[in-house]
């Protein structure tokens, strides 16, 4: 065997590994900064990742990932036109490498639809979402979550366009698809119920919205227990709904439920209680119970205040 060939192959593998490591480091840094809202830092790292990805073969998945991340950054910066161009380049790679109906391709279609809608290109956004939905529907048993997500995207687009009947049909179909695939008590069903509840509330159908919020809360309590971030958020949604309806007593009951559950789970002085305390105080102020509101606000501020670090005790001589 030719030793020169073996050495060359080993060197190529080593170079490839180093290139992958360098790309991954910059990509992960940029992704973390983007998720934390540090856009300037994210731009430096993601631009570096994209430059490194350009050295990979034309159809390499890392090229598409880098373009996606830069598209997310541009969208976060409010530059939807540049985000669109980046998503289109990533879409071309996915179509060529993964296929027109692959999940990676249809996810890219959804990203592209979102920035098109943000630019007022609603007809194009709808066409992209319907194409993604049609692709997912070719394998309904395996891609039910994707089908439901695209239906919810379409519903949101129809609602923004004032097409309430079409929006309701899409939201309800998304709920039905999820229930059939996972059962009526799955956490993802709660998410679909919350989408529909918010839509019904927005168009003034309060009698239809309330049971949807309550059923979503019940599902989350059964799935996660009485105290968890998901459950707190579901209870908060219900309390805000009651506030919007002027049902202040019902809203107060829900806020008290949040505080009771969280105090049992985390303790009286856990910082996790601060958001619920602040929301409750806001309600009390609106109800004219100012002294109670002030006391609760003071407690929330105390919980948010960082505790001083304990200094280690010095040994006595």
Question: Rounded to whole angstroms, what are the CA distances from 93 to 46, 102, 234, 316?
Answer: 18, 12, 39, 68
Looking at residues 74-87, what average pLDDT do you find?
96
- Domain assignment present for residue 300? The answer is yes
Q: How far apart are the first and last CA of the chain?
A: 73
Annotate 263-287 with DSSP letters as a single string.
Answer: HHHH-TT-GGGHHHHHHHHHHHHHT
- Domain assignment present for residue 230? The answer is yes
- Domain assignment present for residue 238? The answer is yes
Average pLDDT, the chain: 89
- Domain assignment present for residue 57? The answer is no
- Domain assignment present for residue 234? The answer is yes
What distance in Å separates the CA atoms of residue 274 and residue 297, rounded to the nearest whole number? 9
Backbone angles phi, psi at 54, to 5 degrees: -65, -20
- Domain assignment present for residue 248? The answer is yes
Residue with tokens 């809202």: 37
- Domain assignment present for residue 122? The answer is no
- CA dihedral 11→17→18→19, nearest 10 degrees, is 110
Q: Which domain holds residue 236?
A: 225-304
pLDDT per residue as tens digits for the range 190-210: 999 999 999 999 999 999 999
Looking at residues 274-299, what average pLDDT do you find?
93
| Residue 307: predicted pLDDT | 61
Looking at residues 155-184, what average pLDDT do you find?
94
pLDDT per residue as tens digits for the range 19-61: 788 899 999 999 999 999 999 999 999 999 999 999 998 888 8
- Domain assignment present for residue 297? The answer is yes
Residue 293's CATH number: 1.25.40.10
Sign of the dihedral defined by the CA atoms of residues 62, 68, 74, 77, in that order:
negative
For the chain, the domain total comes to 1
């Amino acid at each position: 065997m030719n030793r020169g060939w073996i050495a060359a192959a080993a060197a190529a593998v080593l170079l490839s590994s180093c290139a992958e490591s360098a790309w991954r480091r910059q990509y992960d840094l940029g992704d973390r900064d983007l998720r934390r809202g540090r856009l300037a830092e994210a731009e430096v790292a993601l631009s570096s990742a994209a430059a490194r990805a350009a050295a990979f073969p034309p159809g390499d998945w890392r090229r598409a990932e880098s373009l996606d991340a830069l598209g997310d950054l541009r969208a976060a910066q409010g530059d939807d036109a540049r985000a669109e161009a980046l998503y289109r380049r990533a879409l071309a790679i996915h179509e060529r490498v993964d296929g027109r109906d692959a999940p990676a391709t249809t996810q890219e279609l959804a990203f592209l639809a979102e920035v098109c809608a943000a630019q007022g290109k609603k007809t194009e956004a709808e066409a992209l979402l319907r194409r993604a939905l049609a692709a997912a529907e070719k394998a309904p048993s395996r891609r039910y979550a994707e089908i439901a997500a695209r239906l919810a995207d379409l519903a949101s687009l129809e609602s923004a366009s004032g097409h309430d009947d079409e929006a309701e049909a899409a939201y309800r179909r998304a709920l039905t698809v999820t229930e059939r695939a996972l059962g009526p008590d799955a956490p993802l069903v709660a998410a679909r119920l919350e989408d529909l509840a918010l839509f019904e509330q927005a168009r003034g159908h309060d009698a239809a919205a309330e049971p949807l919020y309550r059923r979503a809360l019940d599902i989350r309590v059964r799935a996660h227990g009485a105290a968890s971030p998901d459950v707190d958020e579901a209870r908060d949604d219900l309390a805000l709904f009651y506030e919007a309806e002027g049902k202040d007593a019902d809203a107060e009951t829900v806020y008290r439920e949040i505080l009771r559950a969280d105090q049992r789970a985390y303790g009286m002085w856990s910082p996790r209680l601060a958001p619920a305390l602040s929301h409750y105080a806001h309600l009390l102020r609106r109800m004219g119970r100012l002294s109670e509101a002030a006391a609760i606000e003071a407690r929330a501020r105390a919980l948010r205040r960082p505790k001083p670090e304990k200094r280690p005790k010095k040994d006595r001589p």
